[in-house]
Structure 1
Amino acid sequence: MVTPLKKFKLRYADATLFFGEKSIADLEAWVRGKQIIGLVMSRSAAKTSGALQEVLEILTTHNIVYVPFNDVTPNPSASQAVSCAELFRKERVDSIIAIGGGSVIDVGKTVSLLINSNLSPSDLVKGVRAEKAIPLAAVNLTHGTGSEIDRYAVLTFEETGEKRGFTARYPEVSIDDPRFTLTLSRDQTLFTSLDAFYHAYESATSSYTNMFVQTLSSEAAEIIANNLPETVENLKSIEHRSRLLYASMIAGISIDIALTHLNHALEHAFSGLNPNLPHGEGLAILGPRIIYHVHKAVPEDSAVILKHLDPSIRPVAEDAEKAYTAVKEFQRKLGLERKLSDYGFGPDDIPSIVSYTMKMIKERYKSTPLIVNEDVIKDIILDAL
């Protein structure tokens, strides 16, 4: 029997997060005094999860007008953020509630920065800061990205196929209500949880890691290792969902502090070219071979996480192959069998992706804890094809 987690309130950076069943009620204090709220959503998840209905009940109680935008897709494009900002500007929206997973929350963050400025998403990627953002709340529907507690957003630029992460902002208020994760499919449950696992692994092995990050990341990895296998077999377990949601959230804090590195740099290249590749699945396909190379470089940091998959993994470079096998087998037992070739990628794609990834690591992923050359990237891609 798994004991349900108790509700709690967390203040981190500029965000106030409410965690636990029926924590959506804590959104009520935030909406008071607002007049026109824009709702950022995907096409169905907000409604299917039940979150939209509960948000609308709160808005109706306070006679607040709402403007829906429900065109956000997985691996969202910069043009979606621009279209949403244009709609909200036209309707004089004064605040935003993003109801969804990482893609939706990332668009909500971006739109809150664009709406009262002349900036574009490209400006934000370049580090140009908006002078004034409008208020933003996030109602999180997945246990994957941690976007409800971190300051980052990721968008794909259609004209180039580049998927770029950038510093955006924290939501003012975030809701982590595990009830809204119960409608995630088996694949969504698996992919989002593995996204959180790789957040824990990359932040713990980042060149910017520290004791606090490793404490959070180790806890997150242990929770995922212990709870994900049962959750994918019992999708309606609120207890296991609560734990995975908690793991995702604390792994979100970890990457907010210590960042991600090689896996995210490489995966963004693939899902930027093919947005049908789920982000978490892309990380998982590439992840085992990346872990092989990372464990060789920083075995002590790597073992902090991997001991939860295989306690016999030692903090020594010689156990890199064992690290690779442990992650590969963990994912295989969960049913993750697809390869990059299932999404249309082949050997002909390697040169351009190697070139792009090398550029990204040099420019944006200084957190990478090993010296990466073209041979390393080719080895990772060939293993994933």
Structure 2
Amino acid sequence: MMNKYYMPTRVIMGNDCIAMNSELFITLGKKALIVTGAQSAKRNGAEKDVRTALESVGIPYLVFDKVMSNPTIACVYEGATFAKENRADFIIAIGGGSPMDAGKAIALLASQDIMEGSLFSGNYEKKVLPMAFVPTTAGTGSEVTQYSILTNNKAQTKTSIASDLLFPTIAFLDAKYTEHLGIITTIYTTIDALSHAVEGMLSARASIVSDALAVTSIQMIINCVPDMLQALKSGSKVVFNMKQREQLLQASFLAGMVIAQTGTTAVHSMGYSLTYFKNIEHGRANGLLLGEYLKLVEKVQPDLAGRILETMNFSEAEQFQELLNKLLGEKEEISSEEIRQYSKMAIQTKNIANCVVKPTEEDIITMFALSFTK
């Protein structure tokens, strides 16, 4: 099988990396549109740092802060119209996965006319606004991927725009913006990153490069898990030290590089229904399903599952499942009718074909049922 590796994003990591590299914004354009949510980028200081950096190099900017969790198609079209009306010629996205996914779609739609019916077609002109991304959670890895995941109400799921055009030009990784994330948000976003790394190793497009990145990401995450469990046990609002925050942000970045090469698997296709219909956060949805999928892999390809489990210092998938159960706590209710509906939707996705171990619809039904067993 032929493998490839392509990740054109320039990544700059470290404390105050935006202020120390503000001149890079000049290379992107003459007027910026900052894409973000309503509050978090203001609270954690990231938006202020970006504004200060732009002002220091004389670049005017506007702010589109209407991005909601799991951004909609309507949201990104509104943002693109705002960008065009104000003649913004580059995008700065600040936040977790939602603002970054929205920022990519806005950069694409502000550059070319794409009807909603063709938005997910993959048939685009080679035009897109340059992008600089500032992640403020450690989970999505969107700052180094070519995917924009949007809520698609017509299809009743989340759907991906996938194009090399969507790789950001620059990513600024400063862990201080994640410093005050609560323990639950930290856990869910960490599990999102862990899922990316594990699914990358279970992908039909996995390679020696993506596996090397995935193993490192998994090890970095597992090193931080004991403190997460301790915080849950004590009921403490423990703020992780900056070394741990940096480790989690770098692990997320590495896992993003993984799925940029490999794509995701059945876990994501199943999880999208949990987010769309049950309003379960994306990282949590992945975590609820990941253990059971790895158990299926363990039955069919034990050597492959064993490589992943060894990286986590486990000998069997049940141990991994037990860890996820501790991190995720009490599970939501899901009916047999909902399981059948979600399974029917999942089996039709491209993610299934991307699995080394391809589940059947019955396998998916079983995984859903076991994942929500009390």
TM > 0.5: yes
The corresponding residue for 2:235 is none
Give the Cα separation in 1 of the matches to 2:249 and 2:198: 17
Give the Cα separation in 2 of the matches to 1:209 and 1:133: 28
How far is the alpha carbon of 1:126 from its aligned partner? 1.3
The corresponding residue for 2:234 is none
Superposed structure 1 runs of 4+ greater than 6 Å apart: none
Identity over the aligned pairs, expressed in percent?
26
Which of the residues 185, 188, 198 maps onto 1:188?
185
The corresponding residue for 1:317 is none
The corresponding residue for 2:9 is 15
The corresponding residue for 1:352 is 341
Gaps of 5+ in 1: 1-10, 314-321
The corresponding residue for 1:177 is 174
Contact residue 114 and residue 130 of structure 1 kept, 8 A:
no
Change (3 A) 1:165 1:340: farther
Give the Cα separation in 2 of the matches to 1:231 and 1:245: 15
Q: Which one-letter code corresponds to 2:11 in the other structure?
A: L
Change (3 A) 1:339 1:81: same
1:353 partner SS: helix
Q: Which one-letter code corresponds to 2:341 in the other structure?
A: S
1:192 partner SS: helix
1:285 matches 2:285: no
Contact residue 85 and residue 111 of structure 1 kept, 8 A:
yes
Which of the residues 46, 53, 56 maps onto 2:51?
56
- Give the 5 Å matches for 1:311-330: 311=314, 313=315, 322-323=316-317, 325-330=318-323
Give the Cα separation in 1 of the matches to 2:102 and 2:117: 14
Between 47-56 and 72-81, the greater mean CA deviation after superposition: 72-81
Give the Cα separation in 1 of the matches to 2:129 and 2:135: 19
Q: Which one-letter code corresponds to 1:245 in the other structure?
A: L
The corresponding residue for 2:131 is 136
Give the Cα separation in 1 of the matches to 2:131 and 2:167: 8
Between 250-259 and 364-373, the greater mean CA deviation after superposition: 364-373
Q: Which one-letter code corresponds to 2:202 in the other structure?
A: T
Q: Which one-letter code corresponds to 1:209 in the other structure?
A: A
1:372 matches 2:367: no
The corresponding residue for 2:26 is 32
The corresponding residue for 2:276 is 272
Gaps of 5+ in 2: 232-237
How far is the alpha carbon of 1:122 from its aligned partner? 4.5
2:144 partner SS: coil
Which of the residues 320, 330, 333 maps onto 2:326?
333
How many residues are treated as equivalent by the alignment?
Answer: 358
Q: Which one-letter code corresponds to 2:251 in the other structure?
A: A
Contact residue 34 and residue 91 of structure 2 kept, 8 A:
yes
1:46 partner SS: helix
Contact residue 309 and residue 330 of structure 1 kept, 8 A:
no
How far is the alpha carbon of 1:266 from its aligned partner? 0.7
Give the Cα separation in 2 of the matches to 1:26 and 1:367: 41
Contact residue 266 and residue 351 of structure 2 kept, 8 A:
no
Q: Which one-letter code corresponds to 1:337 in the other structure?
A: G
Contact residue 18 and residue 53 of structure 2 kept, 8 A:
no
Contact residue 133 and residue 171 of structure 2 kept, 8 A:
yes
